[in-house]
């Protein structure tokens, strides 16, 4: 892992795996701290408080706390990272680490008083993880109702929203209740929307279970469902009160789903962090599976943290997607969405389509923004290393794609405002990209 900028040296040493002595052992009951951290039921949990993120992410983070636990005489290992996300008027904590499902109830108790809640999950995730979540909530004094929807995008509908709300009312949930979303981005969006409108808005706790949801959809407060006319057209901005990223959960995630999460991570690197881009070139391959082998992988936790930081910092500048600053998160997405649509949302997963979109966008960036050719090649190589597609199969109807592009975007005088990268680690809007440029880049795919 590259040195973590601005972090206390001791914490950075831990992340690099060096032994550090923090003095006498703690009381052994887990780590509370003066800033009101949650109690983690880990032996000898300790923490290092860091001012780190203020300089990198002035809008999004006040501090980051790294929990450590003793795993040898003087050895401490990273257990859980807690980061504070500050977006607009809202401030909430994201916990990242292994074994967090068992501490969900206590973590929520730090934020909310004992009440009833709905756990919304899907048919794949609920059988795997609903039980420990429910148990943890019960032992922390919360009474929960489990609502399970069919897995997949087809559950992101107003009908499903309405069914969930009706069920919650039947179960006696009220304005004091809250919603826990346990699942990938589909469940995050749906449960967040339910929380946004139930009794005019109740708290939302996110427990993302896909990599994409951890690094992308659970951060930023966009919630909603699909309409017949298109995806994500009905919704609300509703920031969660707490996000819990248990990295152990990713062990059951199919590898295709894991890889598509890396598409968004690589996007974050291209638009905002050249150092992370360089690090990812080392991370691909053998390390990709590291979190499956050990009980947790510090590097992986750290990578998730950095991505949350990038996304939150961008969102903090433009919470409601009004000023255009949030638009940089759409890098590769204009073409990616057209590819998804051309494949009728069946051929490619979102991250796969975005991977192809980023390849085409990199070519456009060479032509229109001065991106060096070797940086374009590095982007393509990195996507390939993570098992993401970089070539558009010949059977994907090109014309359907171009039609989708025209449908999606307004061209003014034959030009479109298009996100490009002049240099890895940065992104800007160009007013100089034509349909012909896009067509040429897609034809090269």
Ligand X SMILES: NC(=O)c1ccc[n+]([C@@H]2O[C@H](COP(=O)([O-])OP(=O)(O)OC[C@H]3O[C@@H](n4cnc5c(N)ncnc54)[C@H](O)[C@@H]3O)[C@@H](O)[C@H]2O)c1
Q: Which residues bind ligand X (CB under 6 A)?
A: 122, 124-125, 128, 151-153, 156, 183-187, 189, 209-210, 212-213, 216-217, 220, 222, 231-232, 249, 252-253, 257, 350
| Closest distance of CB 73 from ligand X, Å | 35
Of 38 and 212, nearer to ligand X (C-beta) is 212
| Closest distance of CB 53 from ligand X, Å | 21
Of 94 and 173, nearer to ligand X (C-beta) is 94
| Closest distance of CB 193 from ligand X, Å | 10
Tokens 């897609």 correspond to 442
CA-to-CA separations, 286 to 280, 282, 283, 290, 293, in angstroms, rounded: 12, 9, 8, 7, 11
| Closest distance of CB 51 from ligand X, Å | 28
Nearest CA among 111, 100, 90 for reference residue 37: 111
Residue closest to ligand X, measured at CB = 185
* Dist CA 133 CA 153 (whole Å): 23
* Dist CA 392 CA 198 (whole Å): 42
| Closest distance of CB 131 from ligand X, Å | 14
CB atoms within 10 A of CB 74: 9
Of 44 and 257, nearer to ligand X (C-beta) is 257
Of 18 and 123, nearer to ligand X (C-beta) is 123
Of 45 and 335, nearer to ligand X (C-beta) is 335
Of 314 and 433, nearer to ligand X (C-beta) is 314
Instruction: For 202-298, list the strands marked E by DSSP.
Output: 204-208, 222-227, 230-237, 242-246
| Closest distance of CB 371 from ligand X, Å | 25
* Dist CA 198 CA 176 (whole Å): 11
Contact 225, 219 (CB under 8 A): no
Nearest CA among 183, 225, 186 for reference residue 207: 183
Contact 390, 339 (CB under 8 A): no
Of 252 and 282, nearer to ligand X (C-beta) is 252
Contact 265, 308 (CB under 8 A): no
**Would you give the distance in Å from CA 371 to the centre of its chain?**
27
Direct distance between the N- and C-terminal alpha carbons of the chain, in angstroms, rounded to an integer:
32
* Dist CA 85 CA 111 (whole Å): 15
| Closest distance of CB 343 from ligand X, Å | 15
Helix H or strand E segment including 170: helix 158-170
Of 275 and 408, nearer to ligand X (C-beta) is 408
Structure tokens at 168: 């919650």
Contact 223, 103 (CB under 8 A): no
Of 97 and 185, nearer to ligand X (C-beta) is 185
Of 45 and 353, nearer to ligand X (C-beta) is 353
Q: For the chain, what percentages of helix, strand and coil (3-state, to nearest 5) are there?
A: 45, 20, 35
Tokens 């780590």 correspond to 31
| Closest distance of CB 102 from ligand X, Å | 16
| Closest distance of CB 123 from ligand X, Å | 7
| Closest distance of CB 41 from ligand X, Å | 22
* Dist CA 155 CA 161 (whole Å): 9
């Amino acid at each position: 892992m590259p040195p973590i900028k601005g972090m206390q040296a001791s914490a950075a040493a831990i992340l690099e795996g060096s032994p550090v002595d923090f003095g006498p052992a703690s009381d052994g009951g887990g780590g509370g701290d003066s800033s009101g951290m949650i109690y983690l039921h880990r032996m000898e949990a300790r923490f290092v408080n860091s001012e780190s993120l203020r300089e990198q992410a002035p809008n999004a983070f006040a501090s980051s706390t790294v929990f450590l636990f003793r795993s040898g005489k003087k050895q401490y290992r990273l257990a859980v990272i807690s980061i504070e996300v500050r977006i607009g008027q809202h401030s909430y904590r994201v916990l990242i680490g292994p074994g967090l499902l068992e501490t969900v109830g206590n973590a929520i108790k730090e934020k909310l008083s004992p009440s009833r809640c709905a756990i919304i999950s899907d048919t794949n995730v609920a059988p795997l993880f609903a039980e420990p979540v429910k148990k943890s909530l019960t032992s922390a004094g919360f009474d929960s109702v489990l609502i399970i929807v069919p897995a997949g995008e087809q559950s992101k509908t107003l009908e499903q929203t309405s069914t969930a709300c009706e069920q919650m009312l039947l179960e006696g949930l009220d304005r004091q209740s809250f919603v826990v979303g346990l699942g990938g981005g589909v469940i995050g969006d749906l449960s967040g929307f339910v929380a946004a409108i139930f009794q005019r808005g109740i708290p939302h706790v996110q427990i993302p279970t896909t990599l994409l949801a951890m690094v992308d959809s659970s951060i930023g407060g966009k919630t909603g469902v699909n309409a017949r006319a298109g995806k994500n057209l009905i919704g609300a901005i509703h920031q969660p009160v707490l996000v819990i990223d248990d990295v152990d959960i990713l062990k059951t995630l199919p590898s295709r789903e894991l890889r598509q999460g890396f598409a968004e991570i690589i996007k974050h690197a291209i638009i905002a962090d050249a150092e992370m881009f360089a690090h990812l070139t080392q991370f691909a391959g053998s390390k990709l599976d590291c979190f499956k082998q050990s009980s947790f992988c510090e590097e992986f936790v750290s990578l998730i943290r950095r991505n949350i930081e990038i996304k939150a910092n961008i969102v903090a500048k433009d919470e409601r997607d009004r000023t255009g600053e949030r638009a940089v998160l759409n890098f590769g997405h204009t073409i990616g969405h057209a590819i998804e649509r051309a494949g009728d949302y069946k051929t490619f997963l979102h991250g796969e389509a975005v991977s192809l979109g980023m390849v085409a966008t990199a070519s456009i960036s060479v032509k229109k923004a001065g991106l060096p050719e070797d940086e374009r090649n590095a982007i393509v190589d990195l996507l390939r290393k993570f098992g993401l597609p970089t070539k558009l199969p010949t059977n994907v109807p090109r014309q359907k794609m171009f039609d989708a592009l025209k449908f999606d975007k307004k061209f003014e005088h034959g030009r479109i405002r298009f996100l490009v990268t002049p240099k890895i680690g940065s992104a800007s809007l160009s007013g100089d990209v034509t349909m012909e440029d896009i067509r040429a880049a897609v034809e090269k795919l």
